[in-house]
Structure 1
Amino acid sequence: MISKLMPKKLLLAAAGALLLSVPASAAVSGETAYIFNTLLLLMGGFLVMWMAAGFAMLEAGLVRSKNVGEICLKNIALYAVACVVYLLVGYELMYTGVNGGYFGTFAMFSPNDAAALAEKGADYSGHTTGSDFFFQVVFVATAASVVSGTVAERIKLFPFMIFTVILTGLIYPIQGSWVWGQGWLAEKGFSDFAGSTLVHSCGGWAALMGAIILGPRIGKFGPDGKVRPMPGSNMTLATLGTFILWVGWFGFNGSSQLAMASASDAVAISNVYVNTNMAACGGLIAAMLLTKVVYGKADLSMILNGALAGLVAITAGPATPTPLVATLIGAVGGVLVVFSVPFVDKLKIDDTVGAISVHLVCGIWGTMAVPFTNPDTHFGTQAIGVLAIGAFVSLTSAIAWFALKATVGIRLSAEDEELGSDLAEMGMEAYPEFGRGSQKLSF
């Protein structure tokens, strides 16, 4: 009604005068800051949770059709298991009472936001503990998803879930406490903004140990040592999964700013979004061009991993590079993946989806690249962090894998592996109309 009565120019002049009357240094209230910061973590959390769907679709596309249903089950189940275990022990172990040490408190997380606000009155600070838990718990599942793809098609379901409990309840939170929980690595100055090492390399080291101890799929390597390709079932699903992961990564990196209550925070978040996107573009383009040069054709599976490699690489330091430098950091990740995947094969390590190359190799690269754009970090300190976390996760994961192998067993029988984990572990198929094994089971 007012806009109809007042001329447009007069409205604009009034709005301009109102803006000029506000002091340039005006800040939002403590309560408003509390709300904005909480909102950032909640929004980032559900974007990262959506990455679980991305991993499920990516892995479903890259495994053979006889294993698609079981890989989908593993991905949705590991998310649920990781959330429960992190609630029971992981969160407090990672964040409470670390104080420059090596781990926190063994206790269950229980939010007390309402009571804390009642005690503080109008003294608002930070964000709700509930939003912090939600944002952190979805990260945990990402590390476990890395392992899932690497050991796919030959691991038993329930031993894998037991390892997920160990990884998400003990291994991940302990090494995470060293940096994000203000432990000993944080005091040394080690920097990992959103988890190139703490999330991706952690999952990568655990996956590497699992792949070595589990052994390769039947027929992956011939008697002469030649690598035999085992193409995935559905590159459409794999592409969809990559797109979902790409979108989820904006929450993964952007919300790791942990605050959205000031103009400087808004600027930082915007830079992180732009750099995250450009790194993925750099990784994809580099992988596409390099596969054309090396193999004579553009390899879609490698190109998808190139995009993910760029995303992993920028995760350790997405706030400080310029967009062009972020693109170059991602491009190096894309190049590394193209060479790393066949190198891992030459070592006779069977990584079903290439996760070791994407998450471990490019996680290390991204962490070591931080000092190029962040003068507050040093290569020596970054190297100490990479080596310490690598050694800890590798040792503890190897102990867990060997213990499971010696007790409950971790590998499907040769017959079950040939039949496929869908029928062997679930008694159903993802694609029953194909009729591959439907008649082999009787109920």
Structure 2
Amino acid sequence: MEELLLSTADDVKHLAYAIDTFYFLICGALVMWMAAGFSMLEAGLVRSKNTTEILTKNISLFAIACTMYLLCGYYIMYSSAEGGIFPSFGGLIGGENSVDDVLSGGEDGPYYSMRSDYFFQVVFVATCMSIVSGAVAERMKLWAFLAFAVVMTGLIYPVSGYWTWGGGFLSEAGFSDFAGSGIVHMAGAAAALAGVLVLGARKGKYGKDGQINAIPGANLPLATLGTFILWMGWFGFNGGSELKMSDIDSANNVAQVFVNTNAAAAGGVIAALVLARLWFKKADLTMALNGALAGLVSITAEPLAPTALTATIIGAIAGCIVVASIVMLDKVKIDDPVGAISVHGVVGIFGVMVVPFTNSDATFGAQILGIISIFAWVFIASLIVWTILKAIMGIRVTEEEEYEGVDIAECGMEAYPEFVASKK
């Protein structure tokens, strides 16, 4: 009988390990699909003459993120001493769990594959880098951007990731960020802000007498499709961060996270649309799209603890914040074609700071420490890298190339060619 019970217990562990690994991989695939969402969103919000280049950036940055995180980023983030500031440096992602590791580890043993963990984490890195892409669109050199992506995904993000999810000093201090409002989204916005400040605004965006000239995107249906793709992918982003679903409590938690993620996005859309109607006297689609993303970013720091109604309210506040932030950043001449700094940065800070209202284990002091530490590290490190790249290779295309569109200058092809001449 004892042998039978041991055999049954082992079978249960095998099954739970398989379920949690499979869930991790599926959520990772959902987050990977967000790369398509960012591509479509950004392609829709830039002018047609810059579409090919921004699509090239998005697929290239994803490949670079996967490679750099494999080579060194994952090791930096998860192979360093607990409670530290300075990470260990090394390469690759280590060995896989053995059957003995799983069966003999007890409650503290591994319950999902190490390879599934790497896959889930690497798509977060790519998401962080995708935020930078839209903010510097329409005037940055492609190869300067890709060079920055190497440093961002291989070093800058993994270091602050070690401080938090890797068990570093912010984790020890009690900083709470369930799926990355600050760790992923604010970090990407900090890098983007540094790039925008070094790069400067697009030609014609701001007049000499202070006027702000709107530069509308070329394809709002594409931008809307991208937003829906991101909305869908976010269920993997937040849901997968529960890390487990093979028991009743974990499964219930995953369901709550899904419901709250959806509720916050809906609240963000409604609030942004209503505020835009009151402020601009029009139902502004781009603000509604950014409202959805703002709601998603705001709930990412704590999608489990709130009720669904509270999550809706958090998303609604975020939807109002993002509209005001986009307007305010324009007034101080920070040119962000897709609103990425507002959506991911300003709202990311809000998402982190609202956590203690629903999670009693979080403190405002730890949350503030986390925001300051992550933002300062990513912004300063990024500013240094952008400045070095500017000195070595230049980061901005020429005025003529910007006028004609970076598609031809950087990629040699147009996304929407009006006609193709051919000889008979």
Deviation at 1:29, TM superposition (A): 1.7
Deviation at 1:257, TM superposition (A): 0.4
> 1:355-375 deviations in whole A, cap 9, x for unaligned?
000000010000000000000
Q: Which runs of 5+ in 1 are unaligned?
A: 1-25
Q: Match of 1:182, as an amino acid?
A: G
In the alignment, the residues of structure 1 paired with residue 357 and residue 10 of structure 2 have an alpha-carbon distance, to the nearest angstrom, of 33
Q: What is the match of residue 115 of structure 2? A: 130
Q: Match of 2:337, as an amino acid?
A: T
The answer to whether 1:239 aligns with 2:221 is no
Deviation at 1:106, TM superposition (A): 1.9
Q: What is the match of residue 44 of structure 1? A: 27
In the alignment, the residues of structure 1 paired with residue 102 and residue 229 of structure 2 have an alpha-carbon distance, to the nearest angstrom, of 40
Deviation at 1:260, TM superposition (A): 1.2
In the alignment, the residues of structure 1 paired with residue 393 and residue 273 of structure 2 have an alpha-carbon distance, to the nearest angstrom, of 43
Q: What is the match of residue 67 of structure 1? A: 50
**Distance change in 2, residues 1:368/1:27 (3 Å):** farther
Q: Aligned to 1:303, which of 288, 291, 296?
A: 288
Deviation at 1:105, TM superposition (A): 2.9
Question: Secondary structure at 2:271's aligned position in 1?
Answer: helix
The answer to whether 1:198 aligns with 2:183 is yes
Q: Match of 1:230, as an amino acid?
A: I
Once superposed, what is the RMSD of the aligned Cα atoms?
1.6
> 1:367-422 deviations in whole A, cap 9, x for unaligned?
00000000001111101110111111111010001011111100000011111010
Deviation at 1:108, TM superposition (A): 2.1
In the alignment, the residues of structure 2 paired with residue 389 and residue 179 of structure 1 have an alpha-carbon distance, to the nearest angstrom, of 9
Aligned residues, how many? 411
Deviation at 1:118, TM superposition (A): 5.2
Q: Aligned to 2:68, which of 85, 97, 102?
A: 85
Deviation at 1:103, TM superposition (A): 4.2
Map of 1:168-179 to 2, 5 A cutoff?
168-179=153-164
Q: What is the match of residue 433 of structure 1? A: 418
Check conservation: 1:28, 1:261, Cα contact below 8 A: no
In the alignment, the residues of structure 1 paired with residue 81 and residue 397 of structure 2 have an alpha-carbon distance, to the nearest angstrom, of 40
Q: Match of 1:225, as an amino acid?
A: G
Q: What is the match of residue 214 of structure 2? A: 229
Check conservation: 1:30, 1:125, Cα contact below 8 A: no
The answer to whether 1:117 aligns with 2:99 is yes
The answer to whether 1:381 aligns with 2:366 is yes
Check conservation: 2:102, 2:110, Cα contact below 8 A: no
In the alignment, the residues of structure 2 paired with residue 270 and residue 70 of structure 1 have an alpha-carbon distance, to the nearest angstrom, of 39
In the alignment, the residues of structure 1 paired with residue 43 and residue 414 of structure 2 have an alpha-carbon distance, to the nearest angstrom, of 13
Check conservation: 1:27, 1:262, Cα contact below 8 A: no
Q: What is the match of residue 393 of structure 1? A: 378
The answer to whether 1:353 aligns with 2:335 is no
Q: Match of 1:176, as an amino acid?
A: G
Question: Secondary structure at 2:164's aligned position in 1?
Answer: coil
Q: Aligned to 1:102, which of 48, 62, 85?
A: 85
> 1:145-199 deviations in whole A, cap 9, x for unaligned?
1000000000000010010111111110000111100110011110000000000
The answer to whether 1:315 aligns with 2:296 is no
In the alignment, the residues of structure 2 paired with residue 202 and residue 125 of structure 1 have an alpha-carbon distance, to the nearest angstrom, of 29
Check conservation: 2:10, 2:103, Cα contact below 8 A: no
In the alignment, the residues of structure 1 paired with residue 134 and residue 153 of structure 2 have an alpha-carbon distance, to the nearest angstrom, of 16
Check conservation: 1:98, 1:177, Cα contact below 8 A: no
Q: Aligned to 1:189, which of 171, 174, 180?
A: 174
Q: Aligned to 2:314, which of 329, 333, 338?
A: 329
Q: Match of 1:71, as an amino acid?
A: I
Check conservation: 2:156, 2:381, Cα contact below 8 A: yes
Q: What is the match of residue 166 of structure 1? A: 151
Check conservation: 1:93, 1:103, Cα contact below 8 A: no
Q: Match of 1:80, as an amino acid?
A: A
Q: What is the match of residue 417 of structure 1? A: 402
Check conservation: 2:48, 2:218, Cα contact below 8 A: yes
**Distance change in 2, residues 1:352/1:261 (3 Å):** same
Question: Secondary structure at 2:330's aligned position in 1?
Answer: helix
In the alignment, the residues of structure 2 paired with residue 155 and residue 360 of structure 1 have an alpha-carbon distance, to the nearest angstrom, of 20
The answer to whether 1:266 aligns with 2:251 is yes
In the alignment, the residues of structure 1 paired with residue 87 and residue 193 of structure 2 have an alpha-carbon distance, to the nearest angstrom, of 27
Check conservation: 1:78, 1:145, Cα contact below 8 A: yes
> 1:238-258 deviations in whole A, cap 9, x for unaligned?
000000000000000001000
Q: Match of 1:415, as an amino acid?
A: E
Which of the pair has more CA radius of gyration? 1
> 1:282-305 deviations in whole A, cap 9, x for unaligned?
000000000000000000011100
In the alignment, the residues of structure 2 paired with residue 282 and residue 345 of structure 1 have an alpha-carbon distance, to the nearest angstrom, of 24
Q: Match of 1:325, as an amino acid?
A: T
Check conservation: 1:92, 1:104, Cα contact below 8 A: no
> 1:76-103 deviations in whole A, cap 9, x for unaligned?
1000000000000100100112311124
Q: Which runs of 5+ in 2 are unaligned?
A: 1-8
In the alignment, the residues of structure 1 paired with residue 87 and residue 365 of structure 2 have an alpha-carbon distance, to the nearest angstrom, of 26
TM-score normalized by the length of structure 2: 0.94
Deviation at 1:30, TM superposition (A): 1.5
Q: Which moved more, 1:153-162 or 1:90-99?
A: 90-99
